Amino acid sequence: MTEWKRQEGEETIFRTCAWSPPGCHPVGCGLQVHVKDGKVTKVEGDPEHPITKGSLCTRCLALPEYIYHPDRITHPLKRAKEDRGKDKWERCTWDEATDLIAQNAREITEKYGAEAICVFGGTGREGNNWYPQWANLVFGTPNSVYAQAGWSCYGPRMTNTAFMIGGGYPEIDYAQKFEDRY
């Protein structure tokens, strides 16, 4: 087995996994990430990964492009309410961003009640499904929405594995790389 980190000339190559929504499952794709002078220069599939066996989708292959894209948001941004719809964002700290969210949630709850807040879930490919509980425990609202078709298969799997193993969700159907499962 290849080491998780090796040196080849001026590059350090890291073996790791990536999970990129939509479409990937929590097992992740096996990657070999080439780094030179602290910058990702190339991404390849890891032939030793037991599931993806060196195959990669375009999202993984494009990793350097979106890491270093000039429009990538890498820090919290805020804008004044009167500037909604305008491109007048300014950088703020993580503490300021979370404080603003908490302040606005308290304001909405006090003015309209907790039921005025609705929490939306993602695509159903997250490693667990706690946002309905967080909606209730953090915001006091019963309103949580998963507005995609995945509940027909994902919801029952999530529920069953939570009951069987106590929480979280291991991806139990990722078999596309096994010949007997094509």
Helix (H, G, I), strand (E, B) or coil at 11: strand
- Give the pLDDT of residue 102: 92
In a domain, 35, yes or no: yes
Tokens 């080439």 belong to residue: 34
The number of domains in the chain is 3
Q: Name every residue whose Cβ is closer than 8 Å to that of residue 95 and which is 6 or more positions away in sequence.
A: none
- Give the pLDDT of residue 41: 95
pTM for the model: 0.58
122 and 92 in a single domain? The answer is no
In a domain, 162, yes or no: yes
Name the token pair of 162.
């939570």
In a domain, 182, yes or no: no
**Rounded to an integer, what distance in angstroms lies between the CA atom of residue 42 and that of residue 25?**
23
Contact by Cβ (8 Å): 63, 39: no
In a domain, 20, yes or no: yes
Radius of gyration in angstroms for the set of CA atoms belonging to the chain, rounded to a whole number = 21
- Give the pLDDT of residue 116: 95
* pLDDT tens sequence across 39-48: 999 999 999 9
- For 88, the domain range is 74-112
**Rounded to an integer, what distance in angstroms lies between the CA atom of residue 88 and that of residue 124?**
32
Q: 68 — phi, psi (to 5°)?
A: -105, 15
Q: Which residues of the chain have pLDDT under 70?
A: 1, 20-27, 122-129, 147-155, 157-158, 161, 166-182
14 and 50 in a single domain? The answer is yes
Helix (H, G, I), strand (E, B) or coil at 8: strand
- Give the pLDDT of residue 182: 41
CATH number at residue 52: 3.30.200.210
Name the token pair of 42.
């190339």
- Give the pLDDT of residue 26: 56
